[in-house]
Chain A
Amino acid sequence: MVREVVELDGHIIDSLILAKVLDLILAAGADYQVVDVEIGRTNVDSSRARLEITAPDDAVLSSLLEELQVHGANRLDAADASTVTTDRDGVFPPDFYATTNLATAVRINGEWRDVENPEMDCALVVLDDGRVRTVPLHRVRAGSPVVVGRDGIRVHAPSRPRGRSPFEFMASEVSSEKPKGTLIAEVAGRIRTAKDTGGRVLAVCGPAVIHTGAGPDVARLVRGGWVDVLFAGNGFATHDLESAVLGTSLGVSLEGGPPVEGGHANHLRVINEIRRHGSIAAAVDAGYVAAGVMYECVRGRVPFVLGGSVRDDGPLPDVVSDVVEAADAMRAALPGVTVALMLASTLHAIATGNLMPAWVETYCVDINQAVVTKLADRGSHQALGLVTDVGLFLRGLADQLCP
């Protein structure tokens, strides 16, 4: 349980502002205790109320406080954040502040500093020049001042605009009932806007992208400059390369028809040849790979991170098989990303969601509603889900963006 005291003043009784604030606290799943109330004696006198709010966790409290501020209820305390110096590598002080992925500010010497790289489940480290950065557990070094406790930390919940907004088209977070064409056109519009305003677009791809025959559509998007960075695993890259070299995906011809004789080993043979070349880029340069998503990434110098897992065949030489290193490589590729497309990927979508600030517009496309829900449950509340076939989605998106 976390607590905070807020104060309200003005004509809060007759304006029903106090009633509204109390309702909002309960609606958010929090509770309150009235610390004191001074009610004005006449119609003209103003009133003042002090409430102690109790919330189940920091995320609920932060977003509630943000909402209450709109109605004039402000936090009473405004102390500096406290820090404790870590005494060993890879270990935070016991009372470290655990971050959310929301925009966060920390008060140091009376000044609010924005956290440069919001990421959930990290700690906040104050640098020598006063900047504040999130640092994951394994990267903290002995001697770093780490923010502890809750004082002097402000978290800005993403605004939930009412009325017309760019997201009105997806008023519900997960949608399987809406006309897909309109949704795809809206997503294409958001991608165009992001690119026009200097943002970068991230695509996170699962193997189903290739199985559904959408590889060429993703390749078109990469070739058209609509993808600035790609995250995937060994599976996606392998099936993309297999289809580019042999025309099959897991041994099944993408042109249709029965499984190819001996096809079950196709992907292993392709991995083997890429390993012989030393890297995907070397295989492209040598002409062994002449099409597909990975080919377009190499040709267009679009950075990609392939994160490994325990079930990988091979793996491809480009796969970062140390998962902690893979996450660090993904982190390093994220700055500037403003739109993320999670395409039929569970593992990599959740991993990416964990690393991204909440302000990144995230579209999760999956035939399985559970993936979208899982992403939100793991804290990536900003993700908007489209429950649909990823192949249809990507064909539509590529048609919109690369006519």
Chain B
Amino acid sequence: MTALDWGGRYLMCRPEFFGVLYEINPWMHAEVRVDPEGAVEQWEGLVATLREAGAGIELQEPVAGLPDLVFTANAGIVNGAQFVPSRFRNVERQAETVHDVAWFSAHGYRVDGLPLEVHHEGAGDALPFGDVLVSGYRFRSDAASHAHLSRLTGAAVRSIELVDERLYHLDLTFCPLDGRRAMVAPLGWDRYGLAVLGALVPEPLLLEDEEALAFCANSVVVGTTVVMPGCPPRVGRVLEGWGFDVVVCPVGEFLKAGGGCRCLTLALDVDLGPRSP
């Protein structure tokens, strides 16, 4: 097993101002209350779990009025010392970008922007696998953004159309595990995407629909540890058979907003390939 060469360092944001204040995906219901203490407790649990697995955690300041800033995966795309900030589809999240850019500038990253007319929601819709960047489109990111992303980062992109609105970001349908393996939710991909997957991932773990809707793919992989929001027995058996340690980290408060473990983290040690600037 060739472990992933990324996933050892993450950016996270304390859920001080987290809540379900608007509805921009099918999981969000503004009438559902988030338990603020429960959210902080679960988030701290996730931080502790990731640290225990060997990951370094960096923190971004929470901002009042931006409840989804906790979902740092959507800040943008990290490529070595380059940061490409997201262009959010929903106006509710667009105000996050200035804070994301400020953090990355302050930490020495070069910031390169996508053109104004395209949307792309960062690592939520783009995960590296092997020597390519797999990127989703339709609900939040535009297919047209992928060519720009490739020009900016030098990455070879595989564009995947997402077809089930409940799995609105790529990171709810796809989770790279190591050099040969990844969890994939066929529920969320069309047949062209699945054909691309067949050529790309030698050993996929295909999630059943209920497993996908339980956010199994929204997991964080640190070396051989897979930190999951929940783990159905079948998935656990396969992962353990492959030599992974599964750690379940309850993030139920965040699932109310349609986000799991992966959404709460942004990998900072990603290098997108041969032509990275």
Partner of A43, one of B131, B161, B163: B131
Taking a contact as CB atoms under 8 Å apart, the answer to whether B164 and A162 are in contact is yes
Q: How far is the CA of A318 from the CA of B195 in the complex (A)?
A: 64
Given known contacts A20-B192, A43-B131, A10 and B157 CB-to-CB distance under 8 angstroms: yes
Interface check B159, CB cutoff 8 A: yes
Taking a contact as CB atoms under 8 Å apart, the answer to whether A72 and B147 are in contact is yes
How many contacts A-B (CB < 8 Å)?
A: 77
What residues of chain B lie closer than 8 Å to A161, measured between beta carbons?
165
What residues of chain A lie closer than 8 Å to B193, measured between beta carbons?
16
Interface check B181, CB cutoff 8 A: no
A interface footprint on B219-260 (CB within 8 Å = 1, 0 otherwise): 000000000000000000000000000000000000000000
Given known contacts A164-B26, A164-B166, A15 and B158 CB-to-CB distance under 8 angstroms: yes
30 A–B contacts from the bound complex (CB under 8 Å): A10-B146, A10-B150, A10-B159, A11-B132, A12-B159, A14-B156, A14-B158, A14-B199, A15-B157, A15-B160, A15-B196, A16-B192, A16-B193, A16-B195, A16-B196, A20-B161, A43-B156, A44-B275, A46-B150, A70-B138, A70-B143, A71-B137, A72-B137, A72-B143, A72-B144, A72-B147, A74-B144, A161-B165, A163-B165, A164-B26
A interface footprint on B113-144 (CB within 8 Å = 1, 0 otherwise): 00000000000000000011000011000111
Known: A15-B160, A163-B166. 18 other contacts (CB 8 A): A10-B143, A10-B159, A11-B132, A11-B150, A14-B196, A15-B157, A15-B158, A16-B193, A16-B196, A20-B190, A43-B132, A44-B274, A46-B150, A71-B137, A72-B137, A163-B163, A163-B165, A164-B165
Taking a contact as CB atoms under 8 Å apart, the answer to whether A46 and B147 are in contact is yes
Instruction: Give B25 Cβ to nearest chain A Cβ, in Å.
Output: 12
- B-side binding surface: helix, strand, loop or mixed? mixed
What residues of chain A lie closer than 8 Å to B275, measured between beta carbons?
44
Taking a contact as CB atoms under 8 Å apart, the answer to whether B157 and A11 are in contact is yes
Interface check A389, CB cutoff 8 A: no
Q: How far is the CA of A163 from the CA of B193 in the complex (A)?
A: 17
What residues of chain B lie closer than 8 Å to A351, measured between beta carbons?
none
What residues of chain B lie closer than 8 Å to A43, measured between beta carbons?
131-132, 156
Chain B residue nearest to A19 (CB atoms) is B192
Chain B residue nearest to A11 (CB atoms) is B157
Q: How far is the CA of A183 from the CA of B157 in the complex (A)?
A: 44
Interface check A329, CB cutoff 8 A: no
Q: How far is the CA of A16 from the CA of B134 in the complex (A)?
A: 13
Interface check B56, CB cutoff 8 A: no
B interface footprint on A1-30 (CB within 8 Å = 1, 0 otherwise): 000000001111011110110000000000
> Which residues of B are at the interface with A, using a C-beta cutoff of 8 A?
26, 131-132, 137-138, 142-144, 146-147, 150-151, 154-161, 163-166, 190, 192-193, 195-196, 199, 273-275
Partner of A11, one of B138, B144, B146, B274: B146
Chain B residue nearest to A162 (CB atoms) is B163
Taking a contact as CB atoms under 8 Å apart, the answer to whether A11 and B143 are in contact is no
Chain B residue nearest to A43 (CB atoms) is B156
